[in-house]
Structure 1
């Protein structure tokens, strides 16, 4: 069992020509796949079990991630159900030379923990042991309810 801050994961993908659409920007399907992978890692870190995607809520692509830039995906678990873990996911385009970032994509995924037989299995409660963890949870819950 991990705390909210211990489930925080950040991953980067450099946008190569084979990652792009006809407009020279990252293909939305690639961004969604990267978000799904990082989100599952965050959920698994908390659950201590394999986790599968159960629901994607309001996946909004607000800006493109141009070829040559870096797509940064952040994820953290912010709430749990009996067998589920809710994860906040955001993607950003980042200039590789300066580190300057702009948010491009926002979503909430629900993952279900499964045992070796693939059956749903209970997850522990998620705790916020730091002020940062509590801020992350409050932000996710507030933003999720405004969607």
Structure 2
């Protein structure tokens, strides 16, 4: 049974001019794509199967990320059903010179594990063994309500 921390993934993306909107900040669609990609990696690490996006449960853009900044995306599985996997996602704006960061985005996506024919398959049970894993899971579950 995989644990919460075994599904934890962090990835960084350099925000280039071709990622920007008319305000010279990261286009929300680009950030959503990066959230989806990192979330799918986390879900697949948990399920041991290909996982596809079934639903964007929430997506809150609180602050912009500028051109030249780093978008730091973090994901971890916090809940699972029979074939579905819920992934908590957050993004930060990170200064590439100083490493200083500020959270910009909160989200959660649901993925479904599929077999080679595209049919849903069962996923394992998620465990939260450590205090940190329980805290992360509870934080994500609290955001659902």
TM range (shorter): over 0.9
1:133 equivalenced with 2:133 (yes/no): yes
Q: Hey, what's the Cα distance between the residues in 2 that align with 1:132 and 1:62?
A: 25
Q: Show the counterpart of 1:7.
A: 7
**Equivalent residue runs for 1:1-147 within 5 Å:** 1-145=1-145
Q: Hey, what's the Cα distance between the residues in 2 that align with 1:129 and 1:39?
A: 21
Q: Hey, what's the Cα distance between the residues in 1 that align with 2:43 and 2:131?
A: 20
Query: 1:98 Cα deviation (Å)?
Result: 1.1
Q: Hey, what's the Cα distance between the residues in 1 that align with 2:60 and 2:18?
A: 22
Q: What do the CA deviations read for 1:30-81 (whole angstroms, capped 9, x no partner)? A: 0000000000000000000000000001211111100000000000000000
User: What 5-or-longer segments of structure 1 have no aligned partner?
Assistant: none
Query: 1:2 Cα deviation (Å)?
Result: 2.2
Q: Hey, what's the Cα distance between the residues in 2 that align with 1:58 and 1:131?
A: 26
Paired residues in the alignment total 145
Q: Hey, what's the Cα distance between the residues in 1 that align with 2:6 and 2:98?
A: 27
What secondary structure is seen at the aligned counterpart in 2 of 1:126?
A: coil
What secondary structure is seen at the aligned counterpart in 1 of 2:36?
A: helix
What secondary structure is seen at the aligned counterpart in 1 of 2:22?
A: coil
User: What 5-or-longer segments of structure 2 have no aligned partner?
Assistant: none
